[in-house]
Amino acid sequence: MTRVFTKVLIANRGEIARRIIRTCKAKGIKTVAVYSEADSKALFVREADEAILLGPAPASESYLRGDKIIAAALETGAQAIHPGYGFLSENAEFAENCAKANIEFIGPSPASIRAMALKGAAKALMIQANVPVTPGYHGDDQDPKVLQKAADEIGYPVLIKAVAGGGGKGMRRVDNAEDFAAAMQSAQREGQNAFGDSKILVEKYLLVPRHVEIQVFGDKFGNVVHLFERDCSMQRRHQKVLEEAPAPNLPDHIRKAMGEAAVNAAKAINYVGAGTVEFIVDVANGVENAPFYFMEMNTRLQVEHPVTEEILGIDLVDWQLQIAAGQKLPKSQGETVANGHAIEVRLYAEDAENGFLPSIGKLTKLSFSPLARIETGVEAGDEISIHYDPMIAKIIVHGKNRTDALSKMRAALILAHIEGVKTNLGFLRRLISDADFVAANIDTSYIETHLTELTKPWKNVEIAPHIMDADPTSPWNDNGGWQLNLPPRAPHNMVYRRESHGDLGSGEIISPMPGKIISLMVKNGQKVAKGEPLLILEAMKMEHMMRADIDGEVSELSVSEGQQIGEKTQLLKIIEGEK
């Protein structure tokens, strides 16, 4: 039976909350925002028709409190809850509790969520549905010896994944048997912290893979369609940086086969709503006859959904609302026709030139090209907080073909203007113009292999003269060279110096941001070598390894495991000397 929604609660924040509000307003549906104390003045809170405070800034006390969210829906009379992505969007228990409260969960059934939640069980199900899966160990036995033996038999390199993982968390590449145990423990720890589940699986690591995913939609009448593919191969530490649709240079017969496999995967779990079936494509021997393997299914809307919307001219959030209300799919498979090419980049508050360290602080200036589609949850004057993902905005363009889209994205990135925090804007400008990327010679290791060139400091001379800002206070004309004279750093070396914390190589280890000490690997008096791991800091949802910058002896170690520390906190010193 069709259910008419007059009010929808949005159980999320930032840009996705604003995105959902926009569609609801266009359909005449009232919206309810829920927010944390840190988001009390956020754009999405002001744009919603009503707003309910959930609690303090940490997500565990606010956006992950399903009980408070359902109570807010009942209090405001919302008939449905849209979970967005992240937080509770793939939480089967939350979906069940919505149903118990007679509130429509705008997403798949709890059974479908559970079927895909644990990667090992999901892959077993896909095998039954004749969907190809990556060779690996997906068993329940988590004994370290069993896992090590499985990795040895699969053959290195292997990829460790948290079974309940997503977003790159709980994933580790291991290149040899000696490193497996430490990587396994790190993945288990991150999986437990992020998802409450330390179980892992082990798979063969494909050396030249592309990440291609298929958007699927199902309704309550058993109909399922795919809405073509997106290429998400531009990743760093398994976190997507750039997505495009359609996937460049992918042969039509592979597109067709992947689309059919994705529909089969969705039908195998009676899928309803928006979902994404992710595949890894092995292009080691070229793309023409490349095999592809099921990787996972995300039972929600994806961050990169705008590129699919742009090539199809449809509103996927509108489709979600229609299907959740009991309507049939708006289009059949034959009625969906792709047009042109779309690209999305993720603008993050991070220092790409210094190991992509997250950057926090106030956005003093924020402006974008009016010719690009911008999805953002912040405005000038807002704070980038340690509590949530550091994404500032998604920048999306659509062109008549890939060349046209690339040209539009270059212009959009040049015209973007952000001050107050460090960003990956220069990195994105280099990436979108890199010769190999333009030629679509891509795989998931692309950023890693091109890192030196992509993370060079952005200079004024790289901007076309007619785009240069004549304002002497503009960042385009700032030639102070705040980072230019520093030597390049390894991507994950977290030794922090911009201020006078001592000369380079002095051995003073400073926290680059607020966070939590997850693991200590040294003690006072211990001899260490340059590059040796010292501790693991968890910040902004990711683990970061901090290493020694000189040979010497650990001194003044003043932190302990589990301790919360602030930005610029001295963690320890290394007295120079031979190990």
Q: Which residues are catalytic?
A: 300
Q: How many residues does the chain have?
A: 579
Angle (deg, nearest 10), helices 110-117 and 92-100: 170
Q: Name the token pair of 65.
A: 């409190």
The closest of 48, 112, 122, 54 to 296, measured between CA atoms, is: 122
376 pairs with which residues across the strands? 393
Q: Name the token pair of 38.
A: 């840190």
Q: Which long-range contacts (CB under 8 A, 24 or more apart) does 318-322 make?
A: 318/23, 318/26, 318/27, 319/217, 319/274, 320/82, 320/106, 320/107, 320/273, 320/274, 321/5, 321/8, 321/23, 321/24, 321/27, 321/29, 321/80, 321/82, 321/106
Q: HEC profile for 518-544? A: EEECCCCCCEECCCCEEEEEEECCEEE
Cβ–Cβ under 8 Å, residues 205 and 230: no
CA–CA gap between residue 294 and residue 277 (Å, rounded): 7
CA–CA gap between residue 107 and residue 258 (Å, rounded): 23
Torsion of CA 447, 449, 450, 455, to 10 degrees: 70
The closest of 131, 141, 136, 94 to 113, measured between CA atoms, is: 94
CA angle 188-190-195, nearest 5°?
95
CA–CA gap between residue 552 and residue 330 (Å, rounded): 66
SS3 category, 214:
strand
SS3 category, 112:
helix
